[in-house]
Amino acid sequence: MSATPTATTAEATSTERVQQHRRYLMCRPVHFTVSYSINPWMEPSRPTDTNLALQQWQSLYDTYTSLGHEIELIDPVEGLPDMVYTANGGFVIDGVAYGPKFRFRERAAEAPAFIDWFAASGFEVAEPVEVNEGEGDFLLVGDTILAGTGFRSTGDSHREVGEVFAREVVSLTLVDPRFYHLDTAIAVLDPVEGPGGVEKANIAYLPTAFDERSQAILRERYPDAIRVSDSDGSVFGLNSASDGKNVIISPRAVGFEAQLRERGYTPVMVDLSELLLGGGGIKCCTLELRGGAR
């Protein structure tokens, strides 16, 4: 499918995008491998190159720091190869960290590691009762939390995250197993806050990753959203990170790159092809830390 923006090219390119400072949690993939399969991308029989994964991860780290963003690091744990995907390690707003509770036993031991890091780093920790995989399935768009379900986080976690943060939660159902977390099918493009207060939030998304009810919600709430093609979605083009101006994306998402430029964003290409073998991309390796001690 092709995507046709609702704004005209003249209107889009005249928009002045404002870069916002970001603070991220990352984890070096020193133990990265694919030794089990919990998503369609993972094939244990396919060789992985840990050194290449480290090099690609370092490129992402260096890109963030070159743009002026702040990076915190959590120590990798041997035997937990998916810790590199820090987005699944929690959801943080205003210094409160809602901890993860992983669906699969292969990742279960990551939860205490992340919760302990948050506590030691000065965050107020909200321990989860319900199964949730952090910012993989919770995205902050303005004052609203978009929450994904269908493959990992349960619907009950949507209620729980709403209670923790006292914010509106909009539930969306994923239906394509390739896009098993919300952050593989939606990218939050605009800053939560800009000069003069809250700006109009904007997203990009892959319509075919969602059921019809969720597609209708997204159309109604975000009429100016970028709708990406299946070809760009299938290379994890939406698993990206934005500071409101610069959008870090896969170099293979060429259609999405053009759409971003048309809207006045600056695409920055970072190749994480080796980490995609584990079912993760740029956003998966990036957990935003909103508030809390420094």
Task: State pLDDT tens for residues 164-180.
Answer: 999 999 999 999 999 99
Local structure of 293: helix, strand or coil: coil
pLDDT class of 14 with cuts at 50, 70, 90? low
Q: What is the mean pLDDT of the segment spanning 113-129?
A: 98
Q: What is the mean pLDDT of the segment spanning 191-207?
A: 66
What pLDDT does residue 192 have? Answer: 56
Q: Is the pLDDT of residue 121 over 80?
A: yes
Question: How many CB atoms sit inside 10 A of residue 68's CB?
Answer: 11
Closest CA to 99 of 80, 87, 85, 114: 114
What pLDDT does residue 150 have? Answer: 95
Q: Is the pLDDT of residue 159 over 70?
A: yes
Q: What is the mean pLDDT of the segment spanning 61-87?
A: 97
- E strands, 27-90, where? 70-73
What pLDDT does residue 15 have? Answer: 75
- Its pTM stands at 0.92
The mean pLDDT value of the chain amounts to 92
9-288: what CATH class? alpha beta
Q: Is the pLDDT of residue 163 over 60?
A: yes
Q: What is the mean pLDDT of the segment spanning 196-215?
A: 83
Determine what percent of the chain is predicted with pLDDT higher than 90. Answer: 85
Locate the domains of the chain by residue range: 9-288
Q: Is the pLDDT of residue 198 over 60?
A: no
What pLDDT does residue 16 have? Answer: 86
Q: Do strands 138-141 and 144-149 pair parallel, antiparallel, or not at all (unpaired)? A: antiparallel
- 141 strand-pairing partners: 144
Q: Is the pLDDT of residue 291 over 60?
A: yes
Q: Is the pLDDT of residue 94 over 60?
A: yes
Q: Which is it for the CA torsion 252, 65, 190, 74, positive or negative?
A: positive
Distance CA 6, CA 27 (A): 38
What pLDDT does residue 244 have? Answer: 95
What pLDDT does residue 39 have? Answer: 85
272, 253 contact by CB (below 8 A): no
What pLDDT does residue 197 have? Answer: 39
The DSSP element (H or E) to which 227 belongs, if any, is: strand 226-227
Closest CA to 204 of 183, 187, 221, 185: 187
What pLDDT does residue 5 have? Answer: 44
6, 224 contact by CB (below 8 A): yes
Q: Is the pLDDT of residue 182 over 60?
A: yes
Q: Do strands 138-141 and 266-269 pair parallel, antiparallel, or not at all (unpaired)? A: unpaired
Q: What is the mean pLDDT of the segment spanning 86-96?
A: 98
Q: Which amino acid is at 156?
A: D
User: Active-site positions?
Assistant: 181, 284
Q: Is the pLDDT of residue 152 over 90?
A: yes
